[in-house]
Structure 1
Amino acid sequence: MLELYQFEASHHCEKIRLILDYKQLPYTTVEVTPGVGQIDLYRMSGQRQVPVLKNGSEVIADSTAIARYLETQYPERPLVPTDPKQQGLCWMMEAWADESIGTNARTVMIGAFSQHPNFRTALLPVSTPDLLKNLVGSVPGDVLSLLGTGVGFGPDDVRSATEILRQNLESLCLILQTQPYLLGEQPTLADFAVAGLTMYIKFPAKQYVDLPVGICDKGVPGLADVPQFESFWKWRDRLYADYRKLHTGGPTGGTGPVTIGIE
């Protein structure tokens, strides 16, 4: 069976989980413990980042490489169009989702942690004592902003990333006005890349990911709650409802430590 080495809360891993569910491929998840677990990951794959897919003796790192591998090895329910122009657009949009949406979504999520205590505490497990929840929620935003400074998450970085994501969401809404999927009448890799990588902007409405129930349907203020982008979130909800399996704690659900990983 396919094994997905992952961080449960990683948006790049969510991209691959969407693809696996769409292709109806059984798989198990192996939750990588940040730090020490990544040493073992390096020994196996030659690098420390998730996701990594293991299929018998084959080990594939990087979400794009994994998508290409799955498309080659499991061509049923194809992800990539056969028409050359559509195929080119599909790969371009997947790369754009990785580099623009994925990178900037991580930045605005860190910014939301520093500015909105309720968003921070929503990520804590349900069993977290109230005292600890209150402590996390009361950490001053300027302290968290200071911690982010120097690693690409300072106030200016957050503002810039927010503006880029507004433009991205506007473009996606325009594309989806006249067609059900980003490249036309059938879902492609572009759709699953965009859907998975927008997880940090707004978490799925139902518990598809093994995260606290309280985080469902919550997102970055100023992006997730803007009426102008509501059509996009409705589109993503439909995509999830049609193709993503709900988390049940079974073989396709991660049950290890939940960590927002900086891949």
Structure 2
Amino acid sequence: MTQTSPSIVLTQMAISPFCDKVRRVLTYKGLPFKTNDIKVSQISSLPKMNNTAKVPFIDYNGKRLSDSTDICFWLEEQHPEPALIPADPSQRADVCLLEDWADETLYFFELTMRFVWPEDSRRWSLELAKNDHPLIKLVTPFLMRRMTRNIAHQQGAGRRSRAQVKAELDRLFDALETRIASGGFCVGQQLTLADISVASQIHCIQGSGVGAEIVASHSTLSDWKQRVDALTLPV
């Protein structure tokens, strides 16, 4: 008997790395889905839509799930093949740690580089508001830069100089290349949620001119990113 595909709607802001992560997981698992894009003017309504007051969230056969990490692990339970979480306890632990590291550390680099640094902040703010009313488009670059600057400053990435940011990313990417070189992926020899989570953040880092240069200077990382993209980006 043919199994019916679940009805999945992903509510997102398309340029978010966390929404990208969920899209990649759905794509890799071969799960058809529709997207519902939230406008900047709708952000204040998010608390009424889900308990995290953030995107992404998904509606899966009428069941609403929020938080990108929780969504990805839940999808793994419902659709274990192809697997993104290793059965081996040690590798599973590594995947969990790297997924969290991507979300809680790499994220603040891309936030700072895309939305705080002036040469990229206007472009990405306008991309965020591209479907909004012209008045919203007009004020979004100013509001986004002020908001993200405060967030990045509180976290710490926004207090670093450009040279410090570049040096730290170089160190982190050198470390990632060491992991990738041993097995071809972040954990072991097969794609896992760690690869998807890290790639989603790096994809956004590449959206900064400086970030794109740093990634391009790490050939092993660039080759890995192309392999992950080929496996996980929607066609």
Task: State TM-score, norm by structure 2.
Answer: 0.78
Q: Do residues 92 (structure 1) and 94 (structure 2) align?
A: no
Q: Which residue of 1 aligns with 2:212?
A: 224
Q: Do residues 240 (structure 1) and 229 (structure 2) align?
A: yes
Q: Which residue of 1 aligns with 2:189?
A: 185
Gaps of 5+ in 2: 1-6, 131-137
Ranges of 4+ aligned residues in structure 1 off by more than 3 Å: 119-125, 144-151, 157-164
Query: Residue type matched to 2:159 in 1?
Result: D
Question: Is the 1:21–1:245 contact (alpha carbons within 8 Å) kept by the matching residues of 2?
Answer: yes
Aligned equivalents of 1:244, 1:197: Cα separation in 2? 14
How do residues 46-195 of structure 1 correspond to structure 2 at under 5 angstroms? Answer: 46-112=51-117, 114=118, 116=119, 120-121=122-123, 149-152=149-152, 156-157=159-160, 159=162, 160-195=164-199
Q: Greater helix share, 1 or 2?
A: 2
Question: Is the 1:44–1:59 contact (alpha carbons within 8 Å) kept by the matching residues of 2?
Answer: no
Q: Which residue of 1 aligns with 2:10?
A: 4
Gaps of 5+ in 1: 129-135, 204-218, 247-263
Aligned equivalents of 2:49, 2:146: Cα separation in 1? 36
Query: Residue type matched to 2:191 in 1?
Result: P
Aligned equivalents of 2:189, 2:209: Cα separation in 1? 30
Which residue of 171, 196, 200 maps to 2:200? 196
Q: Do residues 23 (structure 1) and 15 (structure 2) align?
A: no
Query: Residue type matched to 2:62 in 1?
Result: S
Shift in CA distance, 105/158, structure 1 to aligned 2, threshold 3 Å: farther
Aligned equivalents of 2:151, 2:59: Cα separation in 1? 31
Which residue of 31, 38, 46 maps to 1:32? 38
Shift in CA distance, 42/186, structure 1 to aligned 2, threshold 3 Å: same
Deviation at 1:42, TM superposition (A): 2.2
Identify which of structures 1 and 2 has the higher relative contact order when contacts are C-alpha pairs closer than 8 Å and 6+ apart. 1
Deviation at 1:225, TM superposition (A): 1.2
Aligned equivalents of 2:93, 2:66: Cα separation in 1? 22
Q: Which residue of 1 aligns with 2:135?
A: none
Q: RMSD of aligned C-alpha atoms? A: 2.9
Q: Percent identity?
A: 26
Query: Residue type matched to 1:170 in 2?
Result: D
Aligned equivalents of 2:53, 2:147: Cα separation in 1? 23
Deviation at 1:62, TM superposition (A): 0.6
Q: Which residue of 1 aligns with 2:134?
A: none
Give the 3-state SS of the residue equivalent to 2:183 in structure 1.
coil
Cα deviation, 1:109-137, whole Å, max 9, x if unaligned, reads 2244x1x36x8558867xx9xxxxxxx9x
Aligned equivalents of 1:6, 1:233: Cα separation in 2? 26
Task: State TM-score, norm by structure 1.
Answer: 0.70
Aligned equivalents of 1:87, 1:155: Cα separation in 2? 32
Aligned equivalents of 1:187, 1:148: Cα separation in 2? 32
